[in-house]
């Protein structure tokens, strides 16, 4: 596994799981068969902007977005009208003319659980990498557009 692939996996785990510290993240990675030392994990987390932030259940690891991305994140959240899914796909309804911007925003995360997005005028189709990843992708999308 390359460094880039490992860091994408770390981002995915943080976006789709409630992890309170790096030890929890390390255990999750090892359970997936990713052999990584604490020192390497710490460097990776620093490089991709992982921080430990207060939450309703104590603390959790989050991706600390720059202020520009946080502003965009909040704007994208306002453009989305609904998110629905079945076992294999996710459909996002947006304001007219905004589907392309929403799809581009999601693509910018380069989430390995997402094969791709397809945007029309007011609808985005998100295709997960497998049926088993649909809920992870749904949670990732919801986290990516929420204000917290």
Q: What is the pLDDT of residues 22-70, one digit of tens each?
A: 999 999 999 989 999 999 999 998 888 888 877 777 788 887 755 545 5
Look at 118 and 53; give whichever has higher pLDDT.
118
* Angle (CA) 55 15 125, round 5°: 130
Phi-psi category of residue 37: left, alpha or beta, with phi > 0 → left and psi -120 to 50 → alpha:
beta
- The model's pTM: 0.55
Q: Determine the Cα–Cα distance for residues 143 and 132; give it in Å rounded to an integer.
A: 18
- Interacting residues of 122 by C-beta distance below 8 A, sequence separation 6+: 93, 94, 95, 96, 97, 98, 99
| pLDDT over 90 (residue 144) | no
Domains (range + CATH), the chain: 3-63 (1.10.10.10), 67-145 (3.30.1360.40)
Model pLDDT, residue 147: 55
Range scoring the smallest mean pLDDT among 25-29, 110-114, 130-134 = 110-114
| pLDDT over 90 (residue 117) | yes
Q: Determine the Cα–Cα distance for residues 141 and 130; give it in Å rounded to an integer.
A: 16
């Amino acid at each position: 596994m390359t460094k880039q692939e490992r860091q994408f996996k770390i981002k995915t785990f943080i976006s789709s799981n409630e992890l309170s510290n790096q030890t929890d993240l390390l255990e999750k990675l090892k359970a997936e068969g990713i052999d990584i030392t604490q020192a390497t994990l710490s460097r990776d987390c620093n490089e991709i902007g992982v921080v430990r932030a207060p939450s309703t259940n104590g603390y959790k690891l989050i991706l600390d977005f720059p202020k520009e991305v946080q502003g965009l994140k909040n704007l994208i959240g306002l453009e989305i009208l609904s998110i629905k899914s079945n076992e294999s796909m996710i459909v996002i309804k947006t304001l007219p003319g905004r589907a392309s911007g929403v799809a581009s925003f999601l693509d910018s995360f380069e989430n390995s659980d997402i094969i791709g997005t397809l945007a029309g005028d007011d609808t985005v189709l998100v295709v997960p990498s497998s049926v088993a990843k649909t809920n992870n992708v749904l949670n990732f999308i919801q986290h990516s557009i929420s204000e917290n």
